[in-house]
Amino acid sequence: MVELHANPYIKGFTTNPTLMRKAGVKDYEAFARECLSYIKDHPISFEVFADEFPEMERQARKIANWGQNVYVKIPVTNTRQEPSFELIRRLSQAGVNVNVTAILTLGQVQAAAAALHAGAPACVSVFAGRIADTGRDPVPLMAAAVELVRPYPNIELLWASPRELLNIYQADSIGCHIITATSDILKKLNLIGKSLEEYSLDTVKMFYEDARKSGYAI
């Protein structure tokens, strides 16, 4: 995150307990505060990890106090599929920057936007990549989501879990405010506009070199 902070393409950061666990983070608060010691001028989202709403709220208020650029990620439901919209409304009205996460339906977008109405700056994160994983085209749903949040000037729509570089263009074409991008996707930015003939040759060379280095014989 610190390395990417210097990249002019990057306008903010987000993480979640799953990513932090994969990265080997042991102390949640210590990690977050270390990030914030470097990243002061970009928004950064940290997620609550409780399942009961009173504890979610306690964690959210504590996380919000870590920095003015902090957004608190609240899952759209808990593990029992109980909606978190009342908690979201209460936090937003109290001045907490909320990032509503794990959204996959337009109904959830609409309810989240209503809960965030006239509150603090907020994000509504729709996991378009997971929608695509089910065989559905996420673009029409995301375009509809853009229209659902349009009446709310304090809300930005976030295209979460992108799967390929093309998703950046798709998000931009429908007017989506933000798209998350993994390091793997960012590494492909230098491919934009690349000659397909040249890319074909690069692919042939890759196959040849990998076969040669493996010492394959028939």
For residues 95-106, give the mean pLDDT.
98
Fold of 4-191: TIM Barrel (3.20.20)
In the chain, alpha helices (H): 17-22, 28-38, 53-64, 85-93, 106-116, 128-133, 138-149, 166-174, 183-186, 196-214
Rounded to the nearest integer, the mean pLDDT of the chain is 96
Q: What is the pLDDT of residue 95?
A: 98
For residues 199-218, give the mean pLDDT.
97
* Residue 14 to residue 28: CA distance in whole angstroms: 14
Q: What is the pLDDT of residue 51?
A: 98
Query: Which pLDDT band holds residue 6 (cuts at 50, 70, 90)?
Result: confident
Q: What is the pLDDT of residues 26-47, one digit of tens each?
A: 999 999 999 999 999 999 999 9
- Point out the least confidently predicted range of 3-17, 58-72, 103-117, 187-201: 3-17
What is the C-alpha end-to-end distance of the chain, expressed in Å? 46
Q: What is the pLDDT of residue 7?
A: 86
Residue-range domain boundaries for the chain? 4-191
Q: What is the pLDDT of residue 182?
A: 87
For residues 90-102, give the mean pLDDT.
98
Cβ atoms of 97 and 64 closer than 8 Å:
yes
- pTM over cut 0.95: no
Size (the chain), residues = 218
* Residue 152 to residue 165: CA distance in whole angstroms: 28
For residues 96-108, give the mean pLDDT.
98
- Active site members: 73
Q: What is the pLDDT of residue 215?
A: 95
As a whole-number percent, the residues of the chain with pLDDT over 70 amount to 100
Q: What is the pLDDT of residues 134-184, one digit of tens each?
A: 999 999 999 999 999 999 999 999 999 999 999 999 999 999 999 999 889
| Residue 8 pLDDT exceeds 90 | no
Q: For tokens 């603090």, what's the residue?
A: 120
Q: What is the pLDDT of residue 42?
A: 95
CB atoms within 10 A of CB 53: 18
